Amino acid sequence: MPELPEVEVSRMGISPHLMHQKIDRITVRQRQLRWLIPDELHQLEGQVITSVRRRAKYLLIDTDAGTAIIHLGMSGSLRVLENAPAAEKHDHVDLILSNGKVLRYNDPRRFGAWLWCPPGESHQVIDNCGPEPLSDDFDADWMAQRARNKSVAVKTFIMNNAHVVGVGNIYASESLFSAQIHPKKPAGQLSAKQWRRLVSEIKLVLTRAIEQGGTTLKDFSQADGKPGYFAQELLVYGRAGEPCKVCGQVISEMKIGQRNTFFCEKCQAI
């Protein structure tokens, strides 16, 4: 599933092509994605795009008439095309601009979404999101306060969007390794020093991933079709059975909250 860096890279890729352009029409070939695409989405037709934003793992395309909210799901991708070729099987939505370019949404598994939000309102999918991890609102004091007396594993805790958005499975494992914190350690037992280090590592890991264009594992590629390269920098994720790049200990794997979790038992001793 595309995580926050991949979504941010998509936003950066499509934004220059969409900003201040008028939407001529929207073609919906398949309405049934994760949720049914609402008819209100066609209110974007004839509107000028005023901004392209990201909130958590959602992309928001703003106009004066309202906002399209896009989620890439597990396999969704966006392309900006000139002289767009005929749509293929999984090309479900086209946003056709007056300059002739087309924003095309492809989603083989159809777990993504195109939602609608009227102007001046918010949408339930992002109403309860916590702070953005790369913002000043996300800091060690915030996390320590939220984690007080919590027995849940710290990996599960930092992946909860109510505490901080967009720290998905890959980047949770990588950040915990860099911070030398065992993923099963109860969140309420982290010291203030550990929270400062973990928050710092989350910011660093996500920033590096964005700079590298995201992590390509199976389905994600950038808006220009080029893959992300952060996978080449992964220290623990997907490396079970391989030697730790820091100490040489074999990387371990276990399930936490039904998610595969990778860690070094020596570097991250509980």
Catalytic residues: 2-3, 57, 259
Token pair listed for 246:
């820091």
- Binding residue per annotation — 101? no
Distance CA 242, CA 216 (A): 20
Does 90 appear as a known binding residue? yes
What is the SS3 assignment for 188-251?
HHCCHHHHHHHHHHHHHHHHHHHHCCCECCCCCCCCCCCCCEHHHHCCCCCCCCCECCCCCCEC
Residue type, 208: R
State the sign of the Cα–Cα–Cα–Cα dihedral 106, 112, 117, 121. Answer: negative
Any known ligand binding at 203? Answer: no
Count of beta carbons in the 10 Å neighbourhood of residue 53: 13
Q: Residues at the annotated binding site for DNA?
A: 90, 109, 150
Annotated binding residues? 90, 109, 150
